[in-house]
Homo-oligomer: A and B are copies of this chain.
Amino acid sequence: MRDFSADHRWLSINTATVRRQRGTEWPLPNILEACAARGIRAVSPWRDQVAAAGLDATARQLRTLDLELSGYCRGGMFTYTDAASRQAVRDDNRRALDEACTLGAACLVLVVGGLPGALEGRPAHRDITSAREQVAEGIAALLDDARDRRMPLAIEPLHPMYAADRACVNTLRQALDLCDRLDPGRTGALGVAVDAYHVWWDPELQAQIARAGRERLLALHVCDWLVPTTDMLLDRGMMGDGVIDLQQLRGWAEAAGFEGYSEVEIFSASNWWQRDGSEVLDTCIARHRSVV
């Protein structure tokens, strides 16, 4: 297992972590500058942040700062209620794919979507099995384009508490079953993003990480599960402040062949988003060394 204690060369910052500082938006160009100034070598930005800064301008800035993308957040939300929304989803995912290529991302992360309409508080039905079939169909369609562009797709299983409204792929086993179905040759075109927050509780975690192997382990996201957790979306904790054994998790991933970045992804409305972005980045670096 790689030694992270002496430096932070394998630290990536998901830019959601510092998208707000002191309660207000921190523009992506400033975030990228602050990361590069600290010797951070990789980031994972969100589409809305890139759109606000400009796609081409962001690509240029990344090159200037010599910053890699450990992933691009995100494609997905594949579920739909009619032909028009199905087409709109496909079109939007193709745009996400193109953006990921322009930015030179390591993979496009997929948050697959829940019951159609649920995120807006108006679920169209209760049939999660059909939603899961729509997800498989949507990934299959996107995968053709992704192969052409040599951009790997990383299915991110989300915690079961998001099954209704954000992602109906909720375990690593389920995500890997999808990979086996859609990419049986393990070509590297389709894999998973393992986010500690979403999967730490899973009694099958070690076995499923081993099953995934190097070809399927496309991204590793870290943060912590706080006790108590006070908000279902915006209370992801800083590494070391919660109950996830992150070194054990990384050990399992590395034993399976993973050699990529540990990407810090924190959403913390009441804590870290209220602080100075510099303080947050410095804390990420320190915790990356001490507990990741």
Chain A residues packing against B (C-beta within 8 Å): 115, 118, 121, 123, 126-128, 132, 159-161, 163-165, 168, 170-171, 174, 200-203, 225, 227-229, 232, 242-245
Residue of B nearest to A171 (CB): B203
- A203 and B121: CB pair below 8 A? no
Cβ 8 A contact of A160, one of B126, B128, B159, B168: B159
Measured in the bound complex, the distance between the Cα atoms of B168 and A202 in whole Å is 9
Chain B residues whose CB sits within 8 angstroms of the CB of A174 once the complex forms: 203
Q: Contacts A160-B161, A170-B201 hold; do A227 and B118 have CB atoms under 8 A apart?
A: yes
- A203 and B164: CB pair below 8 A? no
Q: List 15 A-B contacts (CB under 8 A).
A: A115-B227, A118-B227, A121-B228, A123-B243, A126-B243, A128-B201, A128-B245, A159-B160, A160-B160, A160-B201, A164-B201, A164-B225, A164-B227, A164-B243, A170-B201
Chain B residues whose CB sits within 8 angstroms of the CB of A201 once the complex forms: 128, 160, 163-164, 168, 170
Residue of B nearest to A132 (CB): B203
Chain B residues whose CB sits within 8 angstroms of the CB of A228 once the complex forms: 121, 165
Instruction: Tell me, rounded to whole Å, the shortest Cβ–Cβ distance linking A122 to chain B.
Output: 8
Q: Which 10 A-B pairs have the closest CB atoms?
A: A163-B201, A160-B201, A126-B245, A161-B161, A174-B203, A118-B227, A164-B243, A160-B160, A126-B243, A164-B227
Instruction: Tell me, rounded to whole Å, the shortest Cβ–Cβ distance linking A41 to chain B.
Output: 28
- A229 and B232: CB pair below 8 A? yes
- B128 and A227: CB pair below 8 A? no
Chain B residues whose CB sits within 8 angstroms of the CB of A243 once the complex forms: 115, 118, 123, 126, 128, 164
Chain B residues whose CB sits within 8 angstroms of the CB of A171 once the complex forms: 203
Chain B residues whose CB sits within 8 angstroms of the CB of A123 once the complex forms: 227, 243
Measured in the bound complex, the distance between the Cα atoms of B159 and A229 in whole Å is 14
- A245 and B127: CB pair below 8 A? yes
Measured in the bound complex, the distance between the Cα atoms of B203 and A202 in whole Å is 14
Chain B residues whose CB sits within 8 angstroms of the CB of A244 once the complex forms: 126
Measured in the bound complex, the distance between the Cα atoms of B202 and A270 in whole Å is 31
